[in-house]
A and B are shown apart, each in its own frame.
Chain A
Amino acid sequence: MNRSGVLVRLIGLLAIIGIVGTYWMGLVVTPPDVFQGNLVRLVYLHPPVAWVAYLAYGVTSLASIAFLWKRTRNLKWDRLAASSAEVGVLFTGLTLVTGSIWGRPTWGVWWTWDARLTTTALLFLLYLGYLAIRRIPGDRYKVGTRSAVAGLVAFIDVPIVHQSVVWWKTLHQGATVLNPSLSPKIHGEMAWTLLLGFVSFTLLYVWFTIKRYQVASMTDELEDVEVDRMIRERLESDGGVLSGGAPRAESNFVDGGSLK
């Protein structure tokens, strides 16, 4: 295995060790909270998972800018934007579910339409829409441009989600660490566990995104080969007019639901 392959494995391994460590610290080592009791243990998951969603969409935006900028225009950036956004959608989904599970026993409701929850639901839908737009077929550079613009528009919601608890009255509490006064409201081993959670889930994000990127570039490569083959077969047969559906049977073998 080459050096970058080893590095990717190492990142994955560290992510898993870190997450297991977070679970251990969060479920066993840390004490209950004076107010929430054991329910506080969900704080070691929910904010790190939400942070990864922000991070993923941030990377999607930067990659989208790099793709749109003529001097750095390269399909690699489009692939990175797509991969990161997909991981972001997964983590936004997990944010919504863990938040709901935490909300039921602490707030008393699974869901409420306050600004934080509503804008987060919007975030989820926006990036689902981004992934849907990506699937509209077309020339790869056209798809890339279209998606990059959509990705940047969707990102407008990220700062709104984060600031929603400051700008509006919400049921959701303010940020524990990244609050306006930047003074963490958690201390001791609880704070260390939260930090470990942030680091581990960030590593997991990096690992997932690299893996997803590799899947995307292999899919692209296979598609290129497939297109080549179809063109060649058309040229080889009678002027190509009657061979419209012929190569499809073969292409199914490599193309089980690709990102086209």
Chain B
Amino acid sequence: MNGYVEGGYLVVTGGIGGYAAWLGTRAKKLRRAVVVVRDETSVQRRSQDKS
């Protein structure tokens, strides 16, 4: 078209795509960590309850 239009559309695509990717990976990692931690704490709570 003339370079500028394409540039504008690419920048917006890159910006929202990049943020979406960052959010996605971060959410995935955290979800995994939360599951692990929830397991651990429930194990610890149980052992504390026994003592």
Contact = CB atoms under 8 A, between A and B. Distances in A.
A and B touch in the complex (CB under 8 A): yes
Interface of A: 19, 23, 26-27, 37-39, 41-42, 45-46, 49, 87, 90, 93-94, 97-98, 101-102, 104-105, 204, 208, 211-212, 214-215, 218-219, 221-222, 225, 228, 232, 253-254, 256
B15 A218 contact: no
Interface of A is mostly: helix
Contacts of B8: 42, 45-46, 98, 101-102
Given A94-B15, A218-B31, A254 B37 contact: yes
A38 B2 CA distance: 8
A219 B7 CA distance: 35
5 closest cross-chain pairs (CB), A and B: A218-B30, A254-B33, A101-B8, A38-B1, A211-B23
Given A27-B1, A46-B8, A105-B4, A222 B15 contact: no
Contacts of B27: 211, 214-215, 218
B43 interface: no
Interface of B is mostly: helix
Contact of A49 (B2, B7, B12, B26): B12
Contact of A228 (B9, B24, B41): B41
Contact of B12 (A98, A208, A232, A253): A98
B34 A101 contact: no
Interface string B24-51: 1011011101101100010010000000
A38 B5 contact: yes
Interface centre among A26, A37, A98, A219 (most CB of B within 10 A): A98
